[in-house]
Amino acid sequence: MLHAVSLGLVLYGTWLLFSGIYTPLLMGLGAVSCLAVVGIAHRMDVVDREGHPIHLGWRALTYWMWLAVEIVKANIDVARRILDPKMPIDPVVVTVKASQGSELGQVIYANSITLTPGTVSIRINDNAILVHAIATELAEDIQSGAMDRRVTAMEGAGPPPSEDAR
Amino acid sequence: MQVALDILSWLLLIAGSAFALIGAAGLIRFPDVYARMHAAGITDTLGAGLIISGLMIQGGFTLVTVKLAAILIFLLYTSPTSTYALANAAYSRGLQPLLGKRDADTAEKESS
């Protein structure tokens, strides 16, 4: 229920910000369509911790700040390799551990790896992610587990994957 | 004040365009599908991010800026998902990544 209310509020907030026309008719239409979307989402059974992860809260914001800095650093590293006439690359494929408790956490981790230039997630099996990296140093950064720990910390005490799979 | 904001916005737009171009150059220079995805990632993240930030400064405190922020957030959610789909599809079809130290000279030897 909490998730449904929160989803409805977020949708209506988005409607108001995107529309920019505040007449009773349009605001009423917006309310009706938001209710319809919440209803459909509820029937699809996607209004839960996974589909609308409000439990991440502010921790997600601090994680994004950290991730943004990592993305900028990785961008500069890969850009340097592209611009270097020698093009010094050393592609490797490594397996890294994903210690998150839920599938949502693993998706966040895998997407964070892909979002950081120089490393791309290829496949997720159980608790391991197969990663292609453009250089050994970038693979070692991921293998050090700093990002893994941060995602796990952000996710907090999430339920184990078995509980998520209905 | 307006001039300072304009200059900051131009700098962001130019830097974003530069990163988009670097990404395109990498797309051509890198040897295989997997390596090229890393180059495309530069255009996706820093290229798009800087350009949209520059445009947001031009937009000021308006609904346009809100929409630009929404575009950036959607990009940051969808681009890793599509990159993952592409990498996973290539790997599932048995395309082996080129591994080991290589540089421009190795690439030249291989192509000749």
Identity at A157, one-letter amino acid code: A
Residue A59: pLDDT over 50: yes
- Model pLDDT, residue B110: 62
For residue A19, the enclosing domain spans 2-43
Average pLDDT value for residue range A52-56: 78
DSSP 8-state code for residue A65: H
- Amino acid letter, A88: P
- Go through chain A and tell me how many residues it has: 166
Distance, CA of A123 to CA of B91 (rounded, Å): 8
Asked, for residue A48, whether it belongs to a domain, the answer is: no
CA angle (A61 as vertex; A57, A63 as ends), nearest 5: 110
- pLDDT tens per residue across span B101-110: 776 666 666 6
Asked if B43 and B77 touch (Cβ cutoff 8 Å), the reply is no
Torsion of CA B60, A58, A67, B35, to 10 degrees: -100
- Is the minimum CB–CB distance between A88 and chain B shorter than 8 Å? yes
pLDDT in tens, B19-57: 999 999 999 988 888 999 999 989 989 999 999 999 999
For residue B100, give the 3-state DSSP assignment.
coil
Query: How close B1 comes to chain A (CA, Å)?
Result: 27
pLDDT at A162: 41
User: In total, how many domains does chain A have?
Assistant: 2
Are the beta carbons of B41 and B27 closer than 8 angstroms? no
A86 in the same domain as A36? no
Assess whether A106 and A35 both reside in one domain: no
Q: Which of A73, A109, A132 to mutate to test the interface with B (most CBs of B within 10 A)?
A: A132
Asked whether residue A51 is assigned to any structural domain, the reply reads no
Q: Where does the pLDDT of residue A54 fall: very low under 50, low under 70, confident under 90, or very high at 90 and above? A: confident
Global model pTM greater than 0.90: no
Residue A165's pLDDT is 38
Co-location of A26 and A63 in the same domain: no
Mean pLDDT of chain A: 86
Give dist(CA B112, CA B97) in Å, integer. Answer: 20
E strand map for chain A: 92-97, 119-125, 128-133
- Determine contact: B93 vs chain A, CB below 8 A: no
